[in-house]
Amino acid sequence: MKPTALVAGNWKMNGLAESRSELETLSKLLKEGTEAGCNVLICPPYTLISSFAAMNAESIAIGAQDCHAKASGAHTGDISAQMLRDAGAEYVIVGHSERRADHGESSALVCAKANAVLSEGLRAIVCVGETEAERDAGSTLTVVLGQLAESIPESATPDNMIVAYEPVWAIGTGRTPTTDDVAEVHTALRNALVERFGENGRRFSLLYGGSVKPSNAKELMSAPNVNGALVGGASLKATDFNGIIDAYR
């Protein structure tokens, strides 16, 4: 069975209550345009998850950008997967490069967070990716496959886990790997998943993230073993994000 395509928007630390108008516009574009050949997800800041989920925007799932590994407890300022499910989230991103870099998150912690997500019946999007220095050193596959091995829990299945490759040096920089570069990493990820999970490894959705925009989405999404996109800045405007979804129409 072919992996399900997903175009996911990571709003990062952007968005206020008035931003619901972008969700409304995206829902309208999806409803009135040619049917999208992919699933669509928006991951807004925590403050908007509940209100966005309550909108029941047609054909748009709502997710979160991170969670704590514990279900509850004395963890001031943190939010658990249980709380996110209660707020209406269906997906949770874990291990994003900005969490790994800004908060020193290890792959072991990412794995614990992924386990927390799965325990609540949510879907985890586990991110892996190399820095520019690691790429220049020729360590891309070593780094990415190492993160994959250590970040994916044993309970992962194609139905509850998605992997996103995001070259750190391409996030928000305007720099984008070539289609061949992306295909090389995604094929290595696919092979590693098959080695670990058998034939089920072929069903995991693999997203590409890193300066994806309407002008390059179709080319990037056509690369072997790319099953969608994890989009940052271009997901903040409904028209731009819809232009990326066009790659699957």
Q: Encode pLDDT of 172-207 as tens digits.
A: 788 888 999 999 999 999 999 999 999 999 999 999
Q: Any catalytic annotation for residue 24?
A: no
Give the pLDDT score at 62: 98
Question: What tokens were used for 108?
Answer: 């072991």
The Cα 77–Cα 186 span in angstroms is: 35
Longest CA span, the chain: 48
Question: Domains of the chain, with CATH numbers?
Answer: 6-248 (3.20.20.70)
Exactly one of 22, 98, 130, 166 is catalytic; which is it? Answer: 166
Q: Any catalytic annotation for residue 166?
A: yes
Exactly one of 22, 68, 96, 130 is catalytic; which is it? Answer: 96
pTM for this model (two decimals): 0.97
Please say whether the beta carbons of 44 and 22 come within 8 A. Answer: no
Question: What tokens were used for 66?
Answer: 């991170």
pLDDT 10s digits, 104-149: 999 999 999 999 999 999 999 999 999 999 999 999 999 999 999 9
pLDDT 10s digits, 207-242: 999 999 999 999 999 999 999 999 999 999 999 999
The Cα 53–Cα 94 span in angstroms is: 20
